[in-house]
């Protein structure tokens, strides 16, 4: 009993388009019913309507994250659609809360979040099986951060989409054969787009670049291109004079990570690590798991990447904690800074679940593992439906 039966390309694409249509409908339903909030209105006024394209591209906007890609796309949408409220909003005469404003201003996040969810489904359906594709889709829509930022006119949906593309290309490059070079070249382009989206993307860029170097080929030129060109772009925007910001922790730091990778997904991560260590100890050799022909090759490489990216974010938390004022002044450290971990967790859940399910050919073992995975998924769907108040959008 195997769950590895890839779908034909046309069928996978057709099903993905159906889910994409459903995702767009859901996203715009959320957008229409959720009021625009302070940060969305500030971004619209200060960084989109009051700035021209060159000013945005140069990073001369009043944003803590002044990397320009989201704001350029948002300004393009506003200009192309001749958003009617623009002049009144610039003058401060209007706070847009009409249905038209909610939908127009949120085209950007709705499209990119829908693309993220459906890209994951397509990838696992096309290259693994329909069962894994559906499983990945359910994991995606059971993710709290997906619902919270599905319809927020800020850079986070774009950041999540680019992270998803980066990680799926990385997983594909591990076994792509003749297509590996194309995947690696595309990862470089995605890294560049990420560098124009968020300064914190340096963490995942460094993590994926290092893992590629370790697992796919010790190519220093590629490593330097993948890492340092995006890093130079990020440095340009990060070093702009866009004000001093102080942060403090309202929630325990690890809860910020749990918003993107909940505890039940860490259970699967811990189970795969235990399975990995037990096999290494039993076989008394690590080399078998690091062989590109191994069934667990992708999961092993992705585990190393996950370790790198989590370490990067923990160091970021430690840095913010060291700078936190005793008076707790400034801005609360938000969970949205950790949104790339949502994609990291979704893909990890699918890959590690697959490895654990296929760890034995024993039918009873597979039934038990399958029931555990379904129980965790149902639990997460329930918790997210309550936490993100999904039913108000139905």
SS (H, E, C) 118-139: HHHHHHHHHHCEHHHHHHHHHH
In Å, how far are 115, 164, 230 from 227, measured between CA atoms? Answer: 25, 18, 6
In Å, how far are 75, 189, 375, 380, 381 from 263, measured between CA atoms? Answer: 38, 33, 14, 10, 13
Residue pair 128/335 in contact (Cβ under 8 Å)? The answer is: no
Assign 207 to helix, strand or coil.
helix
pTM of the model: 0.92
Residue keyed to tokens 């811990």: 270
- Which pLDDT tens digits describe the chain residue by residue (394 residues)? 556 677 777 899 999 999 999 999 999 999 998 888 888 888 888 888 888 999 999 998 888 889 999 999 999 999 998 886 555 555 555 556 778 889 999 999 999 999 999 999 999 999 999 999 999 999 999 999 999 999 999 999 999 999 999 999 999 998 867 788 899 999 999 999 999 999 999 999 999 999 999 988 878 888 888 999 999 999 999 988 666 777 888 888 889 999 999 999 999 999 999 988 888 777 666 665 566 556 678 888 999 999 999 999 999 999 988 887 777 777 888 899 999 999 999 999 999 999 999 888 888 999 999 999 999 999 999 888 887 666 665 5
Residue 261 CB burial class (10 angstroms; 0-12, 13-18, ≥19): buried
Q: How far apart are the first and last CA of the chain?
A: 37
Spatial distance between the Cα atoms of 35 and 55, rounded to a whole number of angstroms? 28
Structure tokens at 206: 């460094």
Residue pair 373/361 in contact (Cβ under 8 Å)? The answer is: no
Residue pair 135/376 in contact (Cβ under 8 Å)? The answer is: no
């Amino acid at each position: 009993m195997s769950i590895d039966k890839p779908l034909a390309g046309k069928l996978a694409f057709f099903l993905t388009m159906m889910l994409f249509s459903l995702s767009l409908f859901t996203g715009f339903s959320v957008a229409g019913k959720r009021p625009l909030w302070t940060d969305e209105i500030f971004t619209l006024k200060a960084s989109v309507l009051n700035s021209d394209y060159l000013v945005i591209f140069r990073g001369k906007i009043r944003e803590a994250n002044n990397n320009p890609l989201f704001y350029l796309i948002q300004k393009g949408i506003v200009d192309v659609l001749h958003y009617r409220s623009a002049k009144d909003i610039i003058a401060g005469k209007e706070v847009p809360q009409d249905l038209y404003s909610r939908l127009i201003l949120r085209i950007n996040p709705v499209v990119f979040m829908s693309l993220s969810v459906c890209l994951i489904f397509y990838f696992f359906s096309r290259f693994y099986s329909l069962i894994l594709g559906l499983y990945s889709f359910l994991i995606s829509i059971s993710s709290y951060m997906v619902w919270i930022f599905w319809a927020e006119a800020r850079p986070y949906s774009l950041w999540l989409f680019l992270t998803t593309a980066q990680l799926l290309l990385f997983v594909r490059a591990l076994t792509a054969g003749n297509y590996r070079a194309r995947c690696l070249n595309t990862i470089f382009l995605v890294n560049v787009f990420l560098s124009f989206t968020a300064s914190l993307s340096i963490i995942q860029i460094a993590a994926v670049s290092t893992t590629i170097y370790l697992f796919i080929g010790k190519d220093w030129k590629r490593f330097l291109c993948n890492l340092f060109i995006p890093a130079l772009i990020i440095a340009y925007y990060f070093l702009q004079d866009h004000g001093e910001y102080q942060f403090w922790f309202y929630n325990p730091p690890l809860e910020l990570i749990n918003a993107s990778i909940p505890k039940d997904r860490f259970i699967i991560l811990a189970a795969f690590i235990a399975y990995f260590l037990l096999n290494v100890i039993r076989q008394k050799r690590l080399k078998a798991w690091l062989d590109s022909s191994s069934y667990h090759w992708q999961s092993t490489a992705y585990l190393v990447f996950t370790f790198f990216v989590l370490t990067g974010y923990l160091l970021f938390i430690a840095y913010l904690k060291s700078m936190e004022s005793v008076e707790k002044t400034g801005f609360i450290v938000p969970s949205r800074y950790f949104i790339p971990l949502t994609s990291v967790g979704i893909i990890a859940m699918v890959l590690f679940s697959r490895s654990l399910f296929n760890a034995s050919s024993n039918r009873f073992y597979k039934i038990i593992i399958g029931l555990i995975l379904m129980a965790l998924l149902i639990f997460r769907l329930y918790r997210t439906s309550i936490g993100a108040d999904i039913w108000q959008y139905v």
